[in-house]
Amino acid sequence: MSKIVITGMGAVTPVGIGVDNFFNNLIEGKSGIDKIRSFDTSELAVQIAGEIKDFNPADYLPKDVVRKTDAFMQYAYIAAEEALKQSELEIDPMRTGIIMGTAMSGISTIAFTQEALTGASHKKVGPRFIPKILGNIAAANIAIAHDIQGPSFTVSTACSSGGDAIYQAAMLLKAGKADAMIAVGAESAHCPIFIYSLANAKALSRNNENPQKASCPFDESRDGFVIGEGGGALILETEEHAKARGAKIYGELIACGNTCDAYHVTAPHPEGKGAVACMKQALSEGGLQPEDIGYINAHGTSTPKGDEVETHAVKEVFGEKTPFVSSTKGATGHMMGAGGITEVISCVKAIETGILPPTINLENPIPCSIDFIPNEAKKAEIKYAMSNAFGFGGQNSSVIVGKYE
C-alpha cells in the first residue's frame, strides 16, 4: 500500500494566520482569546472567544469571493491557498479532490440574517444567503478557483470533522480515486444563539474578566471551553505522485481512527471507551506500539468532564508508556472542525522542529502521571505524534503523523 504524505499546510487561527505564525506563537505560549469584538455581547453570560484578530478578508481574497462567502468559508479558502502554494501542486483536475470538514457551517450568517429579517419592515433576504450557509460551498469555492473536478465531500461530525476530513481524504487516495487531496477544516460560529445554547448547557467558561486565562485544559480550575474560530488545510498525496513531481514532503500520514461512543448526544462515555477504541484503532492501522508515539495533541477542551475522561482514556491506552501530552486549545480556544486540521499541523511541526507546544494556563494539573507540558514548550525529538478530536454524538477521531523516511 502506498504511503500517504503531506506536501502542504495552511492555517488561520486566533494566534496567527499562516502556519509559521501559528506554530511560533503556540510554542511561545501566546493566547488568542479575548473579549468578543465582532458583535455586542453585553447581554450575554459569556463574552469571550478566540477570534481571528485584525482580519480583513479583502487582504487575502478576491472581492467577489468576499461578497459571497461566510467567514468560515473565507478561513477555509485562505488556509487552502497557503497549503497549495506551499505544496507547489500542479492540479490535474480529475485526479485532485477536496474534503471539507465543518461542524456548524454558516450558523452565524443564519443567525444574523434572521435577526435582521425579524426587525425589518421590508422582508428581504439576499440571493447569496443559501450558498453562504451550506458547508459544501466552502469546498466548492476552492474547487472553482483551482479547477478541482475530482472527489468532493463535506464531512460534519461535530468537533471531529477536521480529523475525519483527513481520514476520508486518505481513504480516497488509498482507493485510487485521486493522486492528491486537499483536506480542509473551518469554523466560525461566533453568534449569540450559539453562545446562549452552550452557556445554558454549562459547557462554556464564564471567566469574562480574565479571558486569556479562561481556557485551561487539564487544570483543576477549568470551568468550560472557550469558542474558537479559524481554518486549516493539508495537501495529501500518494508517495509516488509526490516523488514523481519532486515535491517537498513535510511528513507522513501514518494512520487514522474513527469510532462512535453510542452513548449520549453530548456527554462522552464516562470510561472513554470510544476514545480508547479510536486510539487503539489508529495504532493498529499504523502498525505501531503505544511506546512509538512521542507526543499527543489532546482534544483537551478545558471542560470538567471531557478532560477527565480523555486523561483516563490516554492512560488506559498508553499505561506507563504515556508520551508527552498537551492541548493547544488553551491558546486557540476550541476551533471545532478547524481544530482537527490545525492540531494535526502542530503535530507535523513538532516532529519537524523537535519542539512540543505547551498547555498554557496549566497551574494545577489533574492528578496523574501524564506530563501535560505546562506553560512552556518542551524540546524532544519524536518520530510519531497523535492528534485526538472528540465531538458531540460520541464522535472520536485519532490521526497519527510521522517523520517521512
| β-bridge mates for residue 258, sequence order | 397
State the catalytic residue, choosing from 190, 241, 312, 334: 334
- Distance from C-alpha of 239 to C-alpha of 247, rounded to nearest angstrom: 10
- Distance from C-alpha of 359 to C-alpha of 331, rounded to nearest angstrom: 8
Residue type, position 279, single letter: M
Told to judge if 347 belongs to the known catalytic residues of this protein, a careful annotator would answer no
State the catalytic residue, choosing from 159, 191, 216, 278: 159
Whole-number Cα distances in Å, 398 to 159, 161, 230, 278, 288: 12, 11, 20, 6, 14
- Distance from C-alpha of 226 to C-alpha of 299, rounded to nearest angstrom: 13
Told to judge if 269 belongs to the known catalytic residues of this protein, a careful annotator would answer no
Whole-number Cα distances in Å, 391 to 286, 289, 356: 23, 25, 24
State the catalytic residue, choosing from 216, 299, 312, 347: 299
Three-state secondary-structure class, residue 118: helix
Told to judge if 299 belongs to the known catalytic residues of this protein, a careful annotator would answer yes
Which phi-psi region, left, alpha or beta, contains residue 393 (left: φ > 0; alpha: ψ -120 to 50)? Answer: left
- Distance from C-alpha of 225 to C-alpha of 233, rounded to nearest angstrom: 23
- Distance from C-alpha of 183 to C-alpha of 162, rounded to nearest angstrom: 8
Phi first, then psi, for residue 87 (nearest 5°) are: -75, -25
**Quick one: 59 exposed, middle or buried, by C-beta within 10 A (0-12, 13-18, 19+)?**
exposed
Residue numbers annotated as active site: 159, 299, 334
